[in-house]
Amino acid sequence: MNNNVRIILAGPRGKMGREAVDLISNTSHFTFVAALDHRYGGSSLKDIEGMPSLDVPVYGEADTCFSEVEADVLIDLTTPDVGRVHMDKALDHYIRPVIGTTGFSDEDIERIRAKAEEKALGAIIAPNFAVGAILMMKFSQMAAKYFQDVEIIEKHHDQKLDAPSGTAVKTAKLIDEVREKKAQGHPEEKEELAGARGADYEGMHIHSMRLPGLIAHQEVVFGGEGQTLTIQHDSMNRASFMPGVRLAVDAVMQLDTLVYGLENVME
Ligand SMILES: NC(=O)C1=CN([C@@H]2O[C@H](COP(=O)(O)OP(=O)(O)OC[C@H]3O[C@@H](n4cnc5c(N)ncnc54)[C@H](OP(=O)(O)O)[C@@H]3O)[C@@H](O)[C@H]2O)C=CC1
Ligand SMILES: O=C(O)C1=N[C@H](C(=O)O)C[C@H](O)C1
């Protein structure tokens, strides 16, 4: 493990960003070298309302930040459009991206994989940092060997931009690696209201619920003759993601390619 990891955080005022500010500033081998925030460039973190009293420079523009600040890792907790640009630019400046932001396409992921390999630099895209959520995905992949029929129901707060969630997409991909292909439901089923059967990923259906009061929840429901199996994970707060962020930062320092999914670096 590196004994001093210099970190830039993008999105410090966000719901996840605030937790990450606490994590970085309270982890002895992390040094908080800069924050990236499009609204507060040129200020210091301590001058932003609601932020802790930390004298950390805030940059409004990624290229300036990445070229002026000596950093090992970028943690990005922003939006899909912004995270997509940040992860590319970070690698251009030889800064390892740890991307918690979700909503990327397969093309985005492959582009970052190619760039990380070209630079021989670590990168992590982690759709979910919660250890319990990683286990939910792994258990679902195990169950999919025995059950072909599965539907994913993900439930999130109503401020979420992307649907389905990054976790639901990753779960479907892990299941797809082992599940015998099947188009589920009745072959002649018809949606009387568009979207009634949810999104279709390789014949599996994904349903996205958005409600105030929720944080981050997912059920993976398998069905077989005379039985169902439900694997469920709930994040009750955003602190639940922080041990995974810490693990990802330490892991990315040892990598020379992209890892998509924290399950690939968990012991
Ligand atoms: N991997 C995981 O385990 C988890 C991932 N997530 C993902 O993390 C991301 C953030 O989630 P959450 O914290 O809930 O969202 P929030 O909307 O609370 O936070 C996003 C923050 O990004 C800021 N932002 C927007 N554009 C920029 C920019 N150009 N530079 C810097 N900051 C910018 C926003 O500022 P402003 O509002 O002023 O524009 C806002 O403060 C989402 O993609 C979400 O899906 C969430 C939870 C767990
Ligand atoms: O936006 C969120 O809140 C979350 N996003 C991630 C996702 O899209 O899977 C992780 C977690 O579910 C919370």
Domain locations along the chain: 5-125+239-264, 131-236
Feature table: binding site = 11-16, 39, 100-102, 126-129, 157, 166-167
CB 95 within 8 A of CB 229: no
Q: The domain 5-125+239-264 belongs to what CATH superfamily?
A: NAD(P)-binding Rossmann-like Domain (3.40.50.720)
Query: Rounded to whole angstroms, what are the CA distances from 136 to 113, 118, 231, 265?
Result: 25, 33, 6, 16
- Give me the helix-helix angle, 166-178 and 131-144, nearest 10°: 30
Q: Outline where DSSP puts E strands in 62-198.
A: 73-76, 96-99, 123-125, 149-156
What is the 76 CA–ligand 1 centroid distance (Å)?
Answer: 8
Q: Given 156, 205, 207, 217, which residue is catalytic?
A: 156
Q: What is the pLDDT of residue 1?
A: 84
Q: What is the pTM of this model?
A: 0.98
Task: List the one residue out of 36, 43, 40, 47 whose CA is nearest residue 9.
Answer: 36
CA distance 194 to 214: 25
Pocket of ligand 1, candidates 13, 208, 210, 266: which has the most ligand atoms within 8 Å of its Cβ, to mutate? 13
CA distance 174 to 33: 36
CA distance 142 to 175: 8
ipTM value greater than 0.90: yes
Q: What is the DSSP letter of 57?
A: B
What is the 101 CA–ligand 2 centroid distance (Å)?
Answer: 8
Q: What is the pLDDT of residue 2?
A: 87
Ligand 1 pocket (Cβ < 6 Å) reads: 10-11, 13-17, 36-39, 77-79, 82, 100-103, 126-129, 241
Domain topology for 131-236: Dihydrodipicolinate Reductase; domain 2 (3.30.360)
**Nearest atom (ligand 1) to Cα of 18:** 13
What is the 78 CA–ligand 1 centroid distance (Å)?
Answer: 3
CA distance 241 to 42: 29
Beta bridge partners of 9: 35, 75
Q: What is the pLDDT of residue 267?
A: 79
List own/partner pairs for 52-58 with CB under 8 A and 24 or more apart: 52/21, 52/22, 52/25, 54/21, 54/25, 56/32, 58/12, 58/34
**Is residue 102 lining ligand 2, measured as CB closer than 6 Å?**
yes
Q: Give the up-direction half-sphere exposure of residue 199: CA atoms within 13 A in the CB hemisphere.
A: 15
**Over the stretch 111-166, which tens digit does the pLDDT of each residue have?**
999 999 999 999 999 999 999 999 999 999 999 999 999 999 999 999 999 999 99
Q: What is the pLDDT of residue 28?
A: 97
For residue 205, how far is the Cα from the chain centroid?
Answer: 21
CA distance 20 to 9: 8
The two domains 5-125+239-264 and 131-236 share their CATH topology (first three levels equal): no
- Give me the helix-helix angle, 242-252 and 131-144, nearest 10°: 80
CA-nearest residue for atom 33, ligand 1, is 11
Per-residue pLDDT of the chain (267 residues; tens, 9 = 90+): 889 999 999 999 999 999 999 999 999 999 999 999 999 999 999 999 999 999 999 999 999 999 999 999 999 999 999 999 999 999 999 999 999 999 999 999 999 999 999 999 999 999 999 999 999 999 999 999 999 999 999 999 999 999 999 999 999 999 999 999 998 999 999 999 999 999 999 999 999 999 999 999 999 999 999 999 999 999 999 999 999 999 999 999 999 999 999 999 997
Q: Give the up-direction half-sphere exposure of residue 146: CA atoms within 13 A in the CB hemisphere.
A: 12
CA-nearest residue for atom 31, ligand 1, is 37
